[in-house]
Amino acid sequence: MRRVIRNWHSLAASLLAVAALTHLPLTLPDATGPSGHGMMIAAGIVVTTLLLQAFEASGPALRGTILFLGAHLCALALILNLAGNEGKMSAAFFILVAASWLLAWASASEFSRQEPRQKSLKAFLRLLIPAIFGAWILILWEVVTRGFGVPFILLPPPSAIGIRIAGSLAILWADVQQTIFKAVFAGYVIGCTSGFVVAILADRVDFLRRGLMPIGNLMSALPIIGVAPIMVMWFGFDWQSKAAVVTVMTFFPMLVNTVAGLSATGTMERDLMRTYASDYSQTLTKLRLPAAMPFIFNALKINSTLALIGAIVAEFFGTPIVGMGFRMSTEIGRMNVDMVWAEIATAAVAGSLFYGLIALAERAVTFWHPSSR
């Protein structure tokens, strides 16, 4: 019984593969490029399951690798069979896709059972397991859009988006320069710095803190993005207006978090600094700012996504003829959906890189914090 529970993914996959055999071939009768590979792929899934039974006693690493190879070879074969048969796939095809997905799921769960001692191996696994998940989102997306023949306008397959990205690198780069290197960075630096400075001021002057904090808390819940049209009116169509929107959006989270962080130190630590006869600025730089760093980095992280959103949305209200928001709004008007998705992918990668860089800096700065140990 235990053995069945442990292997239920692969056993279910084999049952599906056998069920698929009754619905062969992979393509509908009216397909242009009928395929006879269905038997082979189903056999691949069954062989993977049998291999797994043979290696029942071995550790999760080997079992995970077998499953990983089996699942992805079958998926590759299935996708190759799609070519020329968009929208003409039979039930057998989708059953086999589900079976390979089960195998991939099983491999991920075998890998997450693994608890390696080596640090490098641990880091590798921490990347591999989410990577399997991400890869299957793409695989299922590709299979569903092309297998069912979903209209291109509604959702283009990832392969088409990838080709579009590769084909328009120059345009994407120009947009990234306009939106991210000019608008986002300028606004992010100005907004975060001014938020930080005001927070220090508010910390110094208690009256200011009592007055600003309720307003700051309220403001960080407000739809500040609505100032975008006003800023475009004030600062013109170029990147300055977008930087202004980003500045306003990033200011309040920074202010609120920094003030909260500055009060994070205990009385004991402050008293200790007092016994050292340290003055305000010494206490600030040696004790309270370092203690506030987790909060400040939290704001920097929140702001990194806010900044990107602010700049792109502000571009909907008027831009020169370059920029990510401009490109999205014009290309959707021309129904070039793959270009829009290419911009989205670019923005997501840029956003993740931005976030990742800040997270790395956080690790370096707040190495002492319990959450990074």
Where do contacts with other proteins occur on this chain (CB under 8 A)? Answer: 105, 108-109, 111-113, 126, 129-130, 132-134, 137, 151, 153-154, 207-212, 214-215, 218, 221-223, 225-227, 229-230, 232-234, 304-305, 308-309, 312-313, 316-317, 324-325, 328-329, 332, 337, 340, 344, 347-348, 351-352, 354-355
For residue 75, the minimal CB distance to other proteins (Å) is: 16
For residue 176, the minimal CB distance to other proteins (Å) is: 13
Indicate the DSSP class of residue 89. Answer: B
C-alpha–C-alpha distance, residues 146 and 86, integer Å:
5
Partners of 82 in the beta sheet?
Answer: none
Q: What's the Rg (C-alpha) of the chain? A: 27
> Given the complex with other proteins, which of 35 and 304 has the nearer CB atom?
304
For residue 295, the minimal CB distance to other proteins (Å) is: 16
For residue 316, the minimal CB distance to other proteins (Å) is: 6
**C-alpha pair distances (Å), 126 with each of 65, 111, 112, 113, 370:** 15, 9, 9, 12, 20
Q: Confirm if 96 and 43 have CB atoms less than 8 A apart.
A: no
For residue 285, the minimal CB distance to other proteins (Å) is: 27
For residue 334, the minimal CB distance to other proteins (Å) is: 12
Question: Which residue carries 């956080």 as its tokens?
Answer: 362
The tokens describing 97, both together, are 């896709």
> Given the complex with other proteins, which of 98 and 213 has the nearer CB atom?
213
Sign of CA dihedral 106, 109, 111, 116: negative
> Given the complex with other proteins, which of 9 and 88 has the nearer CB atom?
9
Q: Confirm if 90 and 38 have CB atoms less than 8 A apart.
A: no
Indicate the DSSP class of residue 329. Answer: H
> Given the complex with other proteins, which of 50 and 348 has the nearer CB atom?
348
> Given the complex with other proteins, which of 149 and 226 has the nearer CB atom?
226
Q: Confirm if 149 and 273 have CB atoms less than 8 A apart.
A: no
For residue 150, the minimal CB distance to other proteins (Å) is: 10
> Given the complex with other proteins, which of 46 and 71 has the nearer CB atom?
71
What is the maximum span of the chain, computed from C-alpha positions, in angstroms?
A: 88
Indicate the DSSP class of residue 114. Answer: -
C-alpha–C-alpha distance, residues 44 and 47, integer Å:
5
Interior angle at CA 48, CA 47 and CA 51, nearest 5: 85
